[in-house]
Amino acid sequence: MSLYDKTAHELHELLTTKKISATELTADVLSRVDEVEDKIGAYLTITRDKAIADSKAVDEKIARGEKISPLEGIPCAVKDNICTKGIRTTCASKILENFVPPYDATAYGKLTAQKPVLIGKANLDEFAMGGSTENSGFHVTRNPHNLEHVPGGSSGGSAAAVAAGEAVFALGSDTGGSIRQPASFCGVVGLKPTYGRVSRYGLVAYASSLDQIGPITRDVTDCAFVLNAIAGHDDMDSTSTAAQVPDFTKSLIADVKGLTIGLPKEYFVAGIDSDVETSVRNAAKKFEQLGANIVEISLPHTDYAISTYYLIAPAEAATNLERYDGVSYGARVDGVDVVDMMTNTRTEKFGAEVKRRIMIGNYALSAGYYDAYYLKALKVRTLIQRDFTDAFKTVDLILAPTAPTAAFKLGEMVSDPLKMYLQDVCTVPLNLAGLPGISIPCGVTNDGLPIGFQLIGKALDEATILRAAFTYEQIN
């Protein structure tokens, strides 16, 4: 029996009924890694010995008759911009190639309290800047459904690992779509929680007002279990919310009767692939058949979301990445004096996309341009937030494509950053507004590549998102 392609909740059942052991499960996933990792390239670090040792501990606990947590013994991957104490955390950047954090990110620490088995740290676009994982400073990751295609990004390694059976679930991070878009490209489930729902402490900062950690899983049930594990207030992150964390597994109810779901007309625009549009509209029809009320809505400032995001995110990135100066963290390239050393370090160790964003960000923040660019972007951000507030006066959820296309070919967009940025049209508005959103598989293109759709909820209302997503999943 192959185990690597099962969900966490199925495996939990097999573990607790002693049909399988945790060591057997970890061995199965590790042998799957041996079989496919050369082709996929999902990982930057594989924690094989730790995985084997941790799985043994779970078996000993089961043998003692102790109860195990829902994620205990379940093999997982963690995006390599999430700090793991004693385990290299590179952000897929040469500048952090040998960085070993002295502490755990809070979300990872909460996860480890449940004792899953870490298989490794997953590849990403350098510092999470990108949408294809081609910007990794180390190697590309390929889409398990078609090796000529990208897995999406920036959490491409996490999504590909889950889709390829190299992990049962993963943690990703989402600043402008980096959990949802790769989940959609790889045919898995990905949830970006409400801003503040999960602590950002120990998530290496890209754009701090947008970043959020979340689950990438094989189904909605697993998504609820992982969110349960990582959510909650953290004194170490002043932006984490004090709001109560419900038990998200209580939302796994197959019932959407009476829910009103809005279809924003601005998300079905020129540039959207016809296969994607058809599948997403079919998903809306299914919700209608299930008793939901579907209405067309308008989010009028959607058109400005990309420009707004690509000013705010680089501005924050330029500031956050100042710390990599050859002194405080990471790599150093010598120079004749300190300025020369810093210049050499940053020139040699940052990749092209990271440098591009530092330049855009510093430009937008510089005296003389601040008002015209950064400040204006903040004002438009407020308008985008208001669009959602207005829409949620009449709807419970918003349904939209996750991305305008399915996974594109490797190399197809890297030389055209603007084209790549435009891919983020359906995902960045949520980050700008701080709202939660999930991507769920809803079909495949004529070429057999997965398509996903997004359910967007009110702030802190992951519960309704999960309920609707679970309902949809039951009929599919």
| 75 touching ligand GLN, by CB under 6 A | no
Residues 209 and 431: their CA atoms lie apart, in Å, by 8
Instruction: Verify whether residue 178 is a known catalytic residue.
Output: yes
| 154 touching ligand GLN, by CB under 6 A | yes
Structure tokens, 63? 């043998």
Q: Phi/psi at 331 (nearest 5 deg)? A: -70, 155
Regarding beta strands 260-264 and 293-297, do their DSSP bridges make them parallel or antiparallel, or are they unpaired?
A: parallel
Instruction: Verify whether residue 136 is a known catalytic residue.
Output: no
Which residue, judged by CB position, is nearest to ligand GLN in the bound state?
Answer: 178
Non-local CB neighbours of 420 within 8 Å, separated by 6+ positions: 130, 131, 132, 413, 414
Nearer to ligand GLN (CB atom), residue 51 or residue 403: 403
Nearer to ligand GLN (CB atom), residue 74 or residue 129: 129
Catalytic residue of the set 79, 115, 121, 349: 79
Q: Put the strands of the sheet holding 213-217 in their side by side order.
A: 43-46, 117-122, 75-79, 169-173, 213-217, 189-192, 437-444, 450-457, 397-401, 260-264, 293-297
| 175 touching ligand GLN, by CB under 6 A | yes
Ordered DSSP codes for 376-397: HHHHHHHHHHHHHHHHTTT-SE
| 436 touching ligand GLN, by CB under 6 A | no
121 by Cβ neighbours in 10 Å (0-12 / 13-18 / 19+) ranks as buried
Catalytic residue of the set 154, 155, 251, 279: 154
Using CB under 6 A as the criterion, what x/- string covers residues 196-225 for binding ligand GLN?
----------x-------------------
List the one residue from 73, 151, 156, 176 that touches ligand GLN (CB under 6 A). Answer: 176
Interacting span for ligand GLN (CB under 6 A) from 42-50, 128-136, 243-251, 271-279: 128-136
List the one residue from 44, 87, 128, 395 that touches ligand GLN (CB under 6 A). Answer: 128
| 134 touching ligand GLN, by CB under 6 A | no
Interacting span for ligand GLN (CB under 6 A) from 110-118, 127-135, 260-268, 290-298: 127-135
Residues 197 and 251: their CA atoms lie apart, in Å, by 17
For residue 440, count other CB atoms closer than 10 A to its CB.
Answer: 29
| 156 touching ligand GLN, by CB under 6 A | no
Structure tokens, 78? 């963690």
∠ Cα 427 83 248 (to 5°): 55
Instruction: Verify whether residue 154 is a known catalytic residue.
Output: yes
Using CB under 6 A as the criterion, what x/- string covers residues 177-196 for binding ligand GLN?
xx------------------
Using CB under 6 A as the criterion, what x/- string covers residues 372-391 for binding ligand GLN?
--------------------
Residues 251 and 238: their CA atoms lie apart, in Å, by 28
Residues 476 and 465: their CA atoms lie apart, in Å, by 17
| 434 touching ligand GLN, by CB under 6 A | no
Catalytic residue of the set 155, 158, 173, 178: 178
| 311 touching ligand GLN, by CB under 6 A | no
Applying CB under 6 A, which residues contact ligand GLN?
Answer: 128-131, 154, 174-178, 206, 313, 424
Residues noted as catalytic = 79, 154, 178
